[in-house]
């Protein structure tokens, strides 16, 4: 009974309180979801439940930030609030309308659901920023570019290399306004530009950056080293050392070392440098090495001995041959070699005619410094006397000659005397051996009673390899 009375009293008290404090409904905010910067846009805030004869204050805020009022409106008798706003970039985000009684603090304020606004700021003044640092880099380094705009929101980017679009690939990593190349090479050199663009309704805004010129330098390769010998006069000689790298972006600095001592260096705009070094013949003067550097690392050649030995005899010449059908010699290879000499020059002669390069029946193959090879086919034109001469490539005053050798098709295909003697001797030996076998057969046959038959049996054994059968012997006996 007591509890029932308590509930009735509490209900009456709440009803009285509700009548004393009018209810304020939740406002509803509306307006565009996308707006252009500097455009004037109206947002609306409306109440569907509100106290009568009570002015309601409607205020527009960014969600989570009540310190900065965007707009306000006083509504009477449920009149919708209108907020004309000049759109700025910072307006982007969730907007909310807060409703409160202007003169009655007992009425609790209410807040609308958020309304999202996207603000389009037209792109302006795009430029390429090299995030990785330098405009010049070496192959293998990472290149990172950033497309930066002075203004612009909700921007889409495209990259160009020398005016051609760059598409994402294993070589090019494109993410928003970033372009990244992890292992660069010289093919990635060129002018990089970006295009930034955004859109509002049917209007497209775009900005193209100036080109940023990127140079990717190829690392210089290990140089090849070689030298040629020059005769200054009868007593003085020098070598011209060549340092050559097959790849690498110029300029390249070449340095020549003799063991640990620097001989000379120079910077060139190509990948080849030459150095002159005085020498003394027949003396080992050290070991030479070329070093090449184009800014990132130093590349090294093999070590080469600095020694020049003049040509010395004897000069040997020999040959081998190829055999075709019917065991006929069809091709020859002559080899010419001097006993010593580091820089020989070979010359081939047929009779008194110099053979060089490629001819109708021959081809000269140089294999310096060891030897020279003369390849030739056997025919009417190739018949004659052959010899080779060897001289120093830097001094042809002295030439050493090999022995002369006459060759033609008949000589090459004629059997040597030794071979003929061996074949004839073998044939004679076989004849003698067969004769001995015949004599032995006659001696050991049956000769006592029938000497004639024994003789016949011996002959049969010698020439037919068998003894006559018994029937044949019987007929002979009866006769």
**Beta-strand pair 353-355/56-62:** unpaired
What count of Cα atoms within 13 Å lies in the side-chain half-sphere of residue 234? Answer: 2
Are 439 and 432 contacting, i.e. CB atoms less than 8 angstroms apart? no
pLDDT given at position 418: 46
Which CATH number is 312-413's, of 3.40.50.1820, 2.60.40.10, 3.40.50.300, 3.40.50.720?
A: 2.60.40.10
pLDDT given at position 330: 85
Helix (H) or strand (E) holding 362: strand 362-367
Are 377 and 360 contacting, i.e. CB atoms less than 8 angstroms apart? no
Q: Within a 10 A sphere around the Cβ of 175, how many other Cβ atoms?
A: 9
Q: Within a 10 A sphere around the Cβ of 89, how many other Cβ atoms?
A: 13
pLDDT given at position 410: 75
pLDDT given at position 369: 82
Close Cβ partners of 104 (under 8 Å, ≥ 6 residues apart): 22, 51, 54
Are 145 and 129 contacting, i.e. CB atoms less than 8 angstroms apart? yes
pLDDT given at position 84: 96
pLDDT given at position 449: 40
Phi then psi dihedrals of residue 324, to 5 deg: -105, -145
Helix (H) or strand (E) holding 384: strand 384-392
Q: Which residue has the tokens 């033609």?
A: 408
> Among residues of the chain, what percentage have pLDDT more than 70?
84
CATH number corresponding to 124-217: 2.60.40.10
pLDDT given at position 20: 52
Q: Which residue has the tokens 């075709």?
A: 324
pLDDT given at position 474: 46
Cα–Cα dist 110/132, whole Å? 52
Rg (CA), the chain: 55
CATH number corresponding to 23-120: 2.60.40.10
pTM beyond 0.85: the answer is no
Nearest to 445 by CA among 435, 436, 455, 437: 455
pLDDT given at position 414: 55
Domain ranges of the chain: 23-120, 124-217, 224-306, 312-413, 425-478
Are 119 and 38 contacting, i.e. CB atoms less than 8 angstroms apart? no
DSSP 58-100: EEEEETTB-SS--EEEEESTTPPEEEEEE--GGG-EEEEEEEE
pLDDT one-digit tens code per residue, 415-462: 444 444 565 577 677 887 777 877 676 566 544 444 444 444 544 544
pLDDT given at position 279: 95
Nearest to 110 by CA among 30, 25, 47, 49: 25
All residue ranges of the chain with pLDDT < 50 are 1-19, 415-420, 446-456, 458-459, 461-463, 470-479
Are 412 and 329 contacting, i.e. CB atoms less than 8 angstroms apart? yes
Helix (H, G, I), strand (E, B) or coil at 474: helix
pLDDT one-digit tens code per residue, 54-72: 899 999 999 989 999 999 9
CATH number corresponding to 224-306: 2.60.40.10
pLDDT given at position 438: 74
Cα–Cα dist 42/84, whole Å? 4
């Amino acid at each position: 009974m007591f509890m029932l009375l308590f509930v009735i009293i509490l209900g009456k008290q709440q009803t009285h309180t509700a009548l004393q404090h009018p209810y304020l409904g939740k406002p509803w905010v509306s307006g565009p979801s996308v707006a252009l910067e500097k455009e004037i846009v109206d947002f609306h805030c409306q109440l569907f439940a509100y106290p009568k004869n009570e002015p309601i204050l409607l205020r527009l805020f960014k969600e989570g930030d009540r310190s900065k009022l965007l707009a306000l409106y006083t509504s009477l008798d449920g009149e919708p609030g209108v907020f004309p706003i000049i759109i700025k970039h910072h307006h982007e985000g969730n907007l909310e309308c807060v409703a409160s009684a202007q003169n009655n603090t007992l009425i609790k304020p209410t807040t609308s659901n958020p309304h999202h606004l996207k603000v389009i700021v037209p792109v302006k003044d795009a430029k390429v920023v090299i995030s990785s640092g330098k405009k010049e880099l070496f192959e293998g380094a990472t290149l990172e570019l950033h497309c930066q705009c002075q203004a612009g929101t909700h921007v889409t980017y495209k990259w160009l290399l020398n005016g051609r679009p760059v598409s994402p690939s294993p070589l090019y990593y494109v993410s928003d306004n970033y372009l990244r190349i992890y292992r660069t090479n010289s093919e990635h050199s060129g002018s990089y530009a970006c295009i930034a663009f955004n859109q509002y309704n049917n209007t497209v805004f775009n900005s193209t950056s100036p080109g940023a010129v990127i140079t990717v330098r190829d690392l210089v390769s290990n140089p090849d080293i070689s030298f040629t010998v020059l005769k200054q006069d009868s007593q003085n000689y020098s070598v011209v050392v060549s340092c050559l790298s097959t790849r690498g972006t110029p300029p390249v600095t070449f340095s020549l070392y003799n063991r640990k001592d620097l001989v000379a260096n120079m910077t060139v705009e190509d990948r080849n440098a030459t150095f002159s070094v005085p020498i003394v013949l027949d003396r080992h003067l050290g070991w030479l090495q070329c070093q090449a550097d184009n800014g990132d690392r130093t590349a090294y050649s093999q070590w080469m001995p600095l020694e020049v030995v003049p040509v010395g005899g004897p000069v040997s010449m020999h040959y081998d041959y190829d055999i075709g059908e019917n065991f006929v010699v069809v091709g020859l290879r002559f080899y010419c070699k001097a006993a010593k000499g580091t820089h020989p020059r070979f010359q081939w002669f047929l009779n008194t005619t110099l053979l060089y390069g490629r001819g109708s029946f021959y081809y000269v193959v140089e294999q310096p410094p060891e030897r020279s090879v003369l390849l030739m086919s056997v025919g009417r034109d190739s018949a004659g006397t052959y010899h080779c001469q060897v001289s120093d490539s830097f001094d042809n005053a002295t030439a050493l000659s090999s022995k002369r050798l006459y060759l033609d098709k008949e000589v090459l295909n004629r059997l040597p005397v030794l071979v003929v003697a061996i074949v004839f001797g073998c044939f004679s030996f076989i004849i003698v051996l067969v004769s001995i076998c015949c004599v032995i057969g006659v001696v050991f046959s049956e000769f006592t009673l029938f000497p004639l038959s024994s003789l016949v049996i011996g002959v049969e054994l010698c020439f037919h390899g068998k003894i006559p059968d018994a029937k044949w012997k019987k007929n002979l006996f009866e006769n």
